[in-house]
């Protein structure tokens, strides 16, 4: 057996869906450990495109067990819509799909509060999807949350709902000057959801650990990316959960000793959705070209992504946190046709107060450790190394030797700079467009 974690190494949207779909061939189980339906994983199989928000990508494969763990927050309506949408496309649900009873539920008031909070911030908006994710995690941490298992206890659910809406309706009326939310309406609606989802709800901590003990290969699937992690990302411009490898243990209830490999998904350049600092962001024709060629629009919201060159300062931060045993480099083909390709190797920062100890007074210093202060990161300028680009197409290439030598040099440079092996290279959106250098499952078994 081997258990592999797949996490984004940047600000999300790195192409995790495709990589998870590819690796599922070697897995028995695919388990999602954090986030909500603010995530969007796009998978292309031949001429069919699937966009998944809550359901693990493994659902597209027959005979695979899929788990939504306790670290995920679930909008029942969104989940049911996703299940029904997949059923219409002949994807089966039954004993292959499980939902943690400990997973917290997104309620209608979470969506309302999410949007109200964002509007109140004005120019300082975080850039959330407005889908209630953050407020649901707030309730979880304040011990006012409602869990999936609560939906199966009709009396207890109504009591918790009434207690929550007493406070929330007061806030809606008196602060936000909007109408109350009806307890009866929400109760009736969520009881219908409970009836639909009840067959899938179970104790996934017991399930996941039993599957480990049986020697099953498990693929742990994350959403978003490390730079959006609530603890280690560019706070406060982050998501509301642990999007790094550590989230596996809390979000599924498995021991760190169960993890055999951690695969970091790295886009060949960098993108970001929403607000927040982004040192390598390009506001020119190159940035627009990356966006158009890469189809850089959110799978969940359709928002255009901000685009820039690869940032190894941020990636080294991700490597420290996650301990990647390998990298999957995605969207290499998007860089086809560029004369030169830049890679950020450091930041240049000038302290306004001239108090920085690493430089002479009044002069900018070179920063190689990712700053923990957003105010510092916001004014950092990238220091670039320029590499030769390539004019030949890499799209659909399946062997390293068939890549242009400059593309191979780019891959080697990334691996050497980050001191992590590149195990996979994606050369297109479809499942079969890519190069498997080292299979992470095989690699993990050899390491054990």
pLDDT recorded at residue 40: 73
Average pLDDT along the chain: 93
Structure tokens at 397: 């290439």
Q: What mean pLDDT comes out for the span 281-293?
A: 96
CB 307 within 8 A of CB 281: yes
Does the pLDDT of residue 148 top 80, yes or no? yes
* Residue 123 clears pLDDT 60, i.e. is over it: yes
Under 8 Å CB-to-CB from 414, ≥6 apart: which residues? 266, 310, 312, 327, 329, 343, 422
- 225: pLDDT strictly greater than 60: yes
Q: Which residues, 6 or more positions from 132, have their beta carbon under 8 angstroms from its beta carbon?
A: 36, 75, 106, 107, 110, 111, 113, 114
pLDDT band at 356 (very low <50, low <70, confident <90, very high): low
In the numeric block, the tokens 């994710």 are attached to: 133
Q: Which residue has the higher pLDDT, 38 or 373?
A: 373
Q: In the prediction, which pLDDT does 187 show?
A: 98
What confidence tier does 278 reach under pLDDT thresholds 50, 70, 90? Answer: very high
Say whether pLDDT at 231 is over 90. yes
Mean pLDDT, residues 27-52 = 86
Dihedral pair phi/psi, residue 6, rounded to 5°: -115, 115
Mean pLDDT, residues 95-110: 97
Contacts of 272 (CB under 8 A, 6+ apart): 10, 11, 227, 278, 281, 305, 306, 308
Across residues 235-241, what is the average pLDDT? 94
pLDDT interval class at 50 (50, 70, 90): confident
Given a contact cutoff of 8 angstroms between Cβ atoms, the answer to whether 219 and 31 are in contact is: yes
Instruction: Give the separation between CA 336 and CA 146, rounded to whole angstroms.
Output: 49
Residue 419 CB burial class (10 angstroms; 0-12, 13-18, ≥19): exposed
Which tokens is 402 given? 């068939």
Higher pLDDT, 300 or 388: 388
Q: Quick check: 52 pLDDT over 60?
A: yes
User: How does residue 402 score in pLDDT terms, banded at 50, 70 and 90?
Assistant: very high
Band of residue 361 on the pLDDT scale cut at 50, 70, 90: low
User: Hey, is 176 helix, strand or coil?
Assistant: coil
Q: Confidence band (pLDDT; 50, 70, 90) for 218?
A: very high
**How confident is the model at residue 274, as a pLDDT?**
86
Q: How far apart are CA 7 and CA 267, in angstroms?
A: 12
Res. 303 pLDDT band, cuts 50 70 90: confident
* DSSP category for residue 304: B
**Confidence band for 241, pLDDT divided at 50, 70 and 90:** very high
Taking 60 as the threshold, does the pLDDT of residue 207 lie above it? yes
pLDDT given for residue 129 in this prediction: 75
Taking only the tens place, the pLDDT of each residue in 304-350 is 999 999 999 999 999 999 999 999 999 999 999 999 999 999 999 98
Least confident segment among 184-198, 212-226, 296-310, 416-430? 296-310
Q: Catalytic amino acids? A: 13, 41
DSSP labels, 415-438 = HHHHT--EEEEE-SSBTT-EEESS
Can you list the positions of beta strands (E) in 130-269?
Answer: 201-202, 218-221, 261-267
Distance separating alpha carbons of residues 277 and 127, to the nearest angstrom:
12
Tell how strand 340-349 and strand 310-311 pair up: parallel
CB 145 within 8 A of CB 136: yes
pLDDT at 362: 62
How far is the CA of 299 from the CAs of 40, 77, 124, in angstroms?
5, 18, 24
What average pLDDT score do residues 286-301 get?
Answer: 89
pLDDT above 60 for 249: yes
Q: What is the pLDDT of residue 86?
A: 95
């Amino acid at each position: 057996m081997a258990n592999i974690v797949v996490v984004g190494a940047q600000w999300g949207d790195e192409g995790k869906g495709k990589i998870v779909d590819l690796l599922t061939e070697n897995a028995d189980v695919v388990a999602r450990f954090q986030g909500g339906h603010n995530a969007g994983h796009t998978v292309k199989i031949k001429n069919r495109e699937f966009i998944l928000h809550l359901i693990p990508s493994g659902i597209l494969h027959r005979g695979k067990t899929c788990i939504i763990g306790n670290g995920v927050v679930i909008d029942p309506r969104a989940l049911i819509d996703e299940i029904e949408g997949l059923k219409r496309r002949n994807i089966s649900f039954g004993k292959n799909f499980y939902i943690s009873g400990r997973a917290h539920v997104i309620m209608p008031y979470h969506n309302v509060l999410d949007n109200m909070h964002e509007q109140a911030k004005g120019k300082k908006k975080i850039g959330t999807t407005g889908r209630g994710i953050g407020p649901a995690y707030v309730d979880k941490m304040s011990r006012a949350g409602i869990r999936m298992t609560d939906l199966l206890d009709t009396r207890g659910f109504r009591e918790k709902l009434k207690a929550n809406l007493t406070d929330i309706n007061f806030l809606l009326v008196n602060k936000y000057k909007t109408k109350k939310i009806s307890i009866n309406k929400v109760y009736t609606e969520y009881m219908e959801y409970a009836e639909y989802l009840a067959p899938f709800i179970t104790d996934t901590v017991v399930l996941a650990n039993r599957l480990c003990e049986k020697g099953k290969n498990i693929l742990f699937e994350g959403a978003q990316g490390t730079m959006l992690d609530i603890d280690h990302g560019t706070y406060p411009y982050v998501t509301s959960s642990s999007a790094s490898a550590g989230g596996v243990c809390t979000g599924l209830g498995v021991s760190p000793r169960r993890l055999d490999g951690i695969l970091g998904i790295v886009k060949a350049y960098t993108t970001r959705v929403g607000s927040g600092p982004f040192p390598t962001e390009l506001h020119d024709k190159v940035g627009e070209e990356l966006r158009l060629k890469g189809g850089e629009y959110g799978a969940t919201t359709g928002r255009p992504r901000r685009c820039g060159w690869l940032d190894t300062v941020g990636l080294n931060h991700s490597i420290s946190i996650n301990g990647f045993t390998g990298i999957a480099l995605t969207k290499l083909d998007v860089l086809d046709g560029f004369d030169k390709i830049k890679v950020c190797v450091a930041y240049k920062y000038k302290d306004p107060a001239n108090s920085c100890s690493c430089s002479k007074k009044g002069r900018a210093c070179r920063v190689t450790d990712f700053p923990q202060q957003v105010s510092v990161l916001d004014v950092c300028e990238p220091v670039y190394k320029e590499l030769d680009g390539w004019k030949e197409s890499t799209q659909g290439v399946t062997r390293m030797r068939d890549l242009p030598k400059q593309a191979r040099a780019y891959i080697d440079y990334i691996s050497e700079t980050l001191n992590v092996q590149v195990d996979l290279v994606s050369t297109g959106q479809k499942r079969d467009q890519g190069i498997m250098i080292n299979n992470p499952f095989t690699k993990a078994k050899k390491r054990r």
